[in-house]
Amino acid sequence: MTLRPRAVLVHRRTELDELLDRHSTRGQAEFFLKSRGRSLTEVQRRDDADRAARQTVLAALPVNWALADVERGDLSQFLFAPEDVVIVVGQDGLVANLAKYVATQKVIGVNPDAAANPGILVRHSPQQAARLIAGLGPDARADVECLGLTMVEATLDDGQRLRALNELYFGHPSHQSARYALHTLLGDEAQSSSGLIVATGTGASGWCASIVHDRGGGRLPGPAEAALAWFVREAWPSPATGVTMTSGWLNGGDRLTTTVTSDRLVVFGDGVEADALELTWGQDVSFGVAASRLQLVI
């Protein structure tokens, strides 16, 4: 028996939603913006674009499909089913926020505002997405193509795991000095730094790009390449800590391992600090290419 397809519409609250929550009325929100040299007009335009995009997608869903509507803050509590078609309406970062919660589900990224969003992950206009949706049910057409985007995974010595689409951060939760031992294929080194970044090719256009720029450039992996780049941030030289191992690549099954020598360090992905793994003295965490990929409809 074929399971009934379900569309999962993922979105985030708009700036207008948040302003109205904070200031209660449009008039008070408009006064707040004007006092800071801004206008409610642009905020309203973006809100209208977001809502119109969602309505276009909803209107295109086949009548026999089920529907679930998920706001970004509820992703960690939502249970995705294997047959789900996930439709993300919003900025590129919303796809990254979603990535660790899905496995083999196909994901359509919908860009409601092409003038404001780069569209690296939200590649489709609402109208293009509407045409794609019909090809993602049980009778999917062969011309619906997906790009498998590489993800990075951290594995703790107690079995906990965390995946990310852009990058994983390892370090102190407040980004102050973190002490740990770094273990690579080239050797070991005790370090004190403001953290370690392990990035995918998708993340190469974000946080990782700024690090590489500050270091004078260099090659980074492609989004679908089974490779990761890692960087140590602001390593501190001292009699007890070194600075010789501050960047490298992880290909295929390569692993980068650290042993914590601080009281409390964390690992979090894609900037979501609220969803972090915590480590303490003596714990190990290793980083590598995740077994699963994000299936982004292109």
Instruction: Evaluate if residue 81 carries a pLDDT over 90.
Output: yes
What pLDDT score does 7 carry?
A: 93
191-247 pLDDT per residue, tens: 999 999 999 999 888 888 888 888 877 788 999 999 999 999 999 999 999 999 999
Quote the CA–CA distance of 137 and 271 in Å, as a whole number: 32
Q: Return the H-helix or E-strand segment holding 211.
A: helix 207-214
Instruction: Evaluate if residue 139 carries a pLDDT over 70.
Output: no
* Of 222, 217, 218, nearest in space to 202 by CA: 222
What pLDDT score does 138 carry?
A: 57
- By the 10 Å C-beta count (0-12 exposed, 13-18 middle, 19+ buried), 67 is classed as exposed
What pLDDT score does 117 carry?
A: 84
Quote the CA–CA distance of 19 and 40 in Å, as a whole number: 10
Instruction: Evaluate if residue 147 carries a pLDDT over 70.
Output: yes
Instruction: Evaluate if residue 180 carries a pLDDT over 90.
Output: yes
Give, in order, the Cα–Cα distances in Å from 194 to each of 59, 121, 129, 290. 48, 29, 41, 25
What pLDDT score does 29 carry?
A: 85
Quote the CA–CA distance of 293 and 286 in Å, as a whole number: 18
pLDDT (average), residues 144-153? 92
Quote the CA–CA distance of 65 and 4 in Å, as a whole number: 6
pLDDT (average), residues 38-66? 90
pLDDT (average), residues 169-186? 93
User: Given pLDDT bands bounded at 50, 70 and 90, which one contains residue 160?
Assistant: very high
Structure letter (DSSP) for residue 124 = B
Q: What are phi and psi of 50, to 5 degrees?
A: -65, -45
What pLDDT score does 1 carry?
A: 47
Instruction: Evaluate if residue 32 carries a pLDDT over 50.
Output: yes
Walk across the sheet containing 84-89 and list its strands: 66-71, 6-11, 84-89, 106-110, 294-297, 146-149
Q: Which of 133-137, 233-237, 257-261 has the lowest mean pLDDT?
A: 133-137
| Amino acid at site 83 | E
Instruction: Evaluate if residue 159 carries a pLDDT over 90.
Output: yes
**Partners of 66 in beta bridges:** 6
User: Given pLDDT bands bounded at 50, 70 and 90, which one contains residue 282?
Assistant: very high
94-123 pLDDT per residue, tens: 999 999 999 999 999 999 998 888 888 999
What pLDDT score does 2 carry?
A: 58
Question: pTM score, two decimals?
Answer: 0.87
